[in-house]
Amino acid sequence: MSGTRGTASGRGRLSTVVRNWPTLLLTVLLLALALPAGLLISPALTGPARSTAQPAQTPAWQLVPERLSVPQGIDPLSYAAPVPVPAGVAARLDPVLKTDGGGSFTAVVQDAATGKVLYDREGAATRIPASNMKLLTAVAALRGIGPEERFSTRVVAEPAAAATPGAAAATRSVVLVGGGDVLLGAGESAEDKVLGHAGLGTLAKLTADSLRKGGFKGQVQVLVDDSLFTGPALNPAWSPDDVAAGETAPLFPLALNAARFDPADTTAPRPQDSAIAAGEAFAASLKAAGAAAGLTVAPAVVRLDGKPTADAKVLAEVQSATVSQQVDLMLQTSDNYLAETLGRMTAVAGGQPATNDSARAAVLGQLSGLGIPTEGMVAADVSGLALANQVSARQFSEVVRAITNGTDTRLRAALAGFPVAGLTGTLGDRYIDESTAEGAGLVRAKTGTLNTVIALSGYVVDADGRLLVFSFIGNGLTPGAEGNKPALDTAATALAGCGCS
């Protein structure tokens, strides 16, 4: 009987718990909400005594919410999400995609998964693309060189001549060999960074150690081998005024800080001989590193006539950041010098000389290999600084689509390089006013700006969770007109908010 009563009693308690379950669950929820609230309120109860001054108002973000907010944002990306209807896209873009003054915009919007064209305003017309040209270079470098490849900067030494007994120590030449890394740092290698990943200070220490271990004491003459790049160092398609302003500089296969005197000053003139400038920085570091080992360094840095001999000994070597990291930096900062270097290194990877002409041919060749139509496309350079470049909005949208959805997965490495609206890179100071703020954090696109040119090509997930790619290009614009960038930004924002199915 006792067992029966115990069972009945247990069932009664269980029934009570089940009946009271909603109340218990609500109590637990209230306790969960009360704990963080108590943490916010407790400092006011346990803090110092109140003064007679008027108490400060608690900021709104510190107050306990009166109700739970409704989650905001886009639905998760899904191929099952509806494809926007072209008429709906046009209804959003046509009212905002207008120039401020003269000129015109061309535009293409595509569904990334299917390639379906959702909006087309003279999208096949070739236009001056400005720095959107770097998207083509990014694709070419990732395909032609490879995302994980690195560029080496080496120091080699010719075999030492036999010393004459009793004579003073001979001068020995060491050669700084440029291998395409134009992001060298002056100090120690910073392996957590892209700019300065390989440091000339580290290279100098390794060189001094090798010389010391080889028993050499005496004077060292630093030579520079920049023979990897051939042909004119400046592209004849560039304006001398742009070169003087520091938009680019004569191209060499080694440079400090993307050929800048100060990496933080991106609007100042650049060194006109970045190879010798890098050689001088290396010589200064070698002088400091070799002093304790009995090494001195000749004051003048000289360009090597020819190339090191085949049996030149490698004394030291440092390696750049990966190509994918350099591509990301190029897209984020829109650096012309780095873009032109990656173009030439793409040519080298294809067994071609590192010239302006070979770089352009290599970029177009990689696009053709990817299946992107290049009819009508003109590449006067690979950075977008030249006004003779001609690319259509449709060609750019296909390039972005190849990066986001193409079969060559090496191109995915470029995704992180697209500036994020209102947050990073060349879009960091845009999408901050009322008309474009809803696109902040959602639009990811490469910018392009010249005097009468503006462009924006990238990708966005719309309000239904559909990935869209787009390209907007303005040509013949009124110089200095303030409304053209906002027009493109508003158009991209409209795509982000499009539930146009």
> Is residue 489 a part of any domain in this protein?
yes
CATH number at residue 468: 3.40.710.10
Same domain, residue pair 338 and 276: no
Binned at pLDDT 50, 70 and 90, residue 171 comes out as confident
Residues 211 and 331 in one domain: no
Which residue stretches of 311-455 are H helix? Answer: 323-333, 336-349, 356-370, 393-405
At 308, the pLDDT band (50, 70, 90 cuts) reads: confident
In a domain, 99, yes or no: yes
User: CA-CA distance, 112 to 246, in Å (whole number)?
Assistant: 37
Lowest mean pLDDT among 173-177, 212-216, 256-260: 212-216
With 0-12 / 13-18 / 19 or more C-beta atoms within 10 angstroms meaning exposed / middle / buried, residue 415 is middle
Residue 181, domain member (yes or no): yes
Instruction: From 259, 293, 321, give the residue that closes a domain.
Output: 321
pLDDT digits (tens, 9 = 90+) for 151-161: 999 999 977 65
Q: What phi, psi does 270 have (nearest 5°)?
A: -105, 165
Q: Is 456 within a domain?
A: yes
Point out the domain boundary residue: 321, 352, 380: 321
Residue 309 has a pLDDT of 84
Residue 372 within any structural domain of the chain:
yes
Cβ atoms < 10 Å from Cβ of 1: 5
Same domain? 314 vs 329? no
Query: pLDDT (tens digit, 9 = 90+) per residue, 95-136?
Result: 999 999 999 999 999 999 999 999 999 999 999 999 999 999
One domain, residues 401 and 277: no
Mean pLDDT of 338-352: 98
* Residue 292, pLDDT score: 85
Is 170 within 8 Å of 157 (Cβ atoms)?
no
298 and 223 within one domain = yes
Q: What is the pLDDT of residue 217?
A: 87
Q: What CATH number should be reported for the domain holding residue 315?
A: 3.50.80.20
Are 315 and 354 in the same domain?
A: no
Which three-class secondary structure state does DSSP give residue 450?
strand
Region for residue 476 given its phi and psi (left: phi exceeds 0; alpha: psi -120 to 50; beta: otherwise): left
> What pLDDT, in 10s, does the model give residues 200-218?
999 999 999 999 999 888 9
Chosen domain end from 274, 302, 321: 321
**How sure is the predictor about 182, in pLDDT bands with cuts at 50, 70 and 90?**
very high
Instruction: Say if residue 288's pLDDT is above 70.
Output: yes
**46 part of a folded domain:** no
Q: In terms of domains, do 212 and 317 share one? A: yes
**Tokens read off for 471:** 């390209």
Asked if residue 129 and residue 200 are part of one domain, the reply reads no
pLDDT at 63: 52
Domain count for the chain? 2
Q: pLDDT, tens digit, for every residue of 414-439?
A: 999 999 999 999 999 999 999 899 99
Is the pLDDT at 26 greater than 60? The verdict is: no
The mean of the pLDDT values for the chain is: 87
- Segment 34-63 shows an average pLDDT of 43
Q: Say what the pTM is.
A: 0.83
Assess contact for 78 and 455: CB atoms under 8 A: no
Lowest-pLDDT choice from 7-11, 133-137, 371-375: 7-11
pLDDT of 50-62, one tens digit each? 444 455 565 554 4
Q: Does 479 share its domain with 364?
A: yes
Please tell me whether residue 451 adopts helix, strand or coil conformation: coil
Instruction: Please give the Cα distance from 276 to 463 (Å, whole number).
Output: 53
Is the model's pLDDT at 397 over the cut of 80? Answer: yes
The C-alpha angle 431, 435, 441, rounded to 5 degrees, equals 35
With bands split at pLDDT 50, 70 and 90, how would you rate the model's confidence at 170?
confident
Question: pLDDT over 70 for what percent of the chain?
Answer: 82
Residue 252 belongs to a domain: yes
The pLDDT score that the predictor gives to residue 90 is 98
Task: Give residue 161's pLDDT.
Answer: 55
> What's the confidence (pLDDT) of residue 440?
96
Domain ranges, residue 217: 152-161+170-321
Q: How much of the chain, in percent, has pLDDT values that exceed 90?
A: 76
Whole-number pLDDT of residue 473: 98
> 302 and 226, same structural domain?
yes
